[in-house]
Amino acid sequence: MNFNATLIGQSITFIVFVWFCMKFIWPPVMNALETRKNKIADGLAAAERGKHEKELAEERAKDILREAKEQAGEIIGRADKRAAEIVDDAKGDARVEGDRLKTAAQAEIEQELNRVREELRGQVVSIALAGAGKVLEREIDEAAHGELLNKLAADI
């Protein structure tokens, strides 16, 4: 154990090293650590905010969805009602149209019937006149009895 100038040399070296460390090593490292700490804190706060916002958005989305569902239900109800109406209308129209067609067909049938009856009546008159003429031969004057016979035919 010899004490010598190494003691002094060592002390000076030590002081220089500490000075260097204090000047050039400690501050930048601590600075980086501090900055990172703040950054992380900011990040966490932002994440928290984001989470909160997400919750709000979800809430809003739920509201909107519910509203949309309600609206859709209403629209479907209205549409159903309208469809029923349309079907009812169509049914009514069809019935009316059918009735109309039926009436027209009946009228036509009636008309045809009348025409045929008229024709038949004319022919009956002619046949009756011809028959009477043959039976009576001279007594019957076409002009004098024609009117009588036509009256007869109209009565048939």
Partner 1 sequence: MASDTLTTSGYIKHHLTNLTYGRFPEGHEHAGHWGFAHSTEDAASMGFWAINVDSMLFSVGLGVLFLWLFRKAAKTATADTPPGWQNFVEWIVEFIDENVRGSFSGKNPLVAPLALTLFVWIFLMNVMDLIPVDWIPWAATLMGVGHLKVVSSTDPNVTFGLAIPVFILVLYYSVKMKGLGGFLGELAFHPFPKWMAPVNLILEGVTLIARPLSHSLRLFGNMYAGEMIFILIALMYGGGIVLGAFGGLLQLGWAIFHILIITLQAFIFMVLTIVYLDMACAKDH
If the CB atoms of residues 14 and 93 are measured against partner 1, the closer one turns out to be 14
Q: How many CA atoms lie within 13 A of 55 on its CB side?
A: 5
If the CB atoms of residues 43 and 131 are measured against partner 1, the closer one turns out to be 43
User: CA-to-CA distance for 48 and 56, rounded, in angstroms?
Assistant: 12
If the CB atoms of residues 11 and 126 are measured against partner 1, the closer one turns out to be 11
16-23: long-range pairs with CB below 8 Å, 24+: none
State in angstroms the smallest separation of the CB of 49 from partner 1: 21
DSSP code, position 140: -
Per CB under 8 A, residues contacting partner 1 are 1-11, 13-15, 17-18, 20-22, 24-26, 28-33, 35-36, 39
If the CB atoms of residues 35 and 106 are measured against partner 1, the closer one turns out to be 35
Query: 3-state DSSP: the chain helix, strand, coil percent, rounded to 5?
Result: 95, 0, 5
Residue 137 has φ and ψ, to the nearest 5°, of 65, -70
State in angstroms the smallest separation of the CB of 48 from partner 1: 20
State in angstroms the smallest separation of the CB of 51 from partner 1: 23
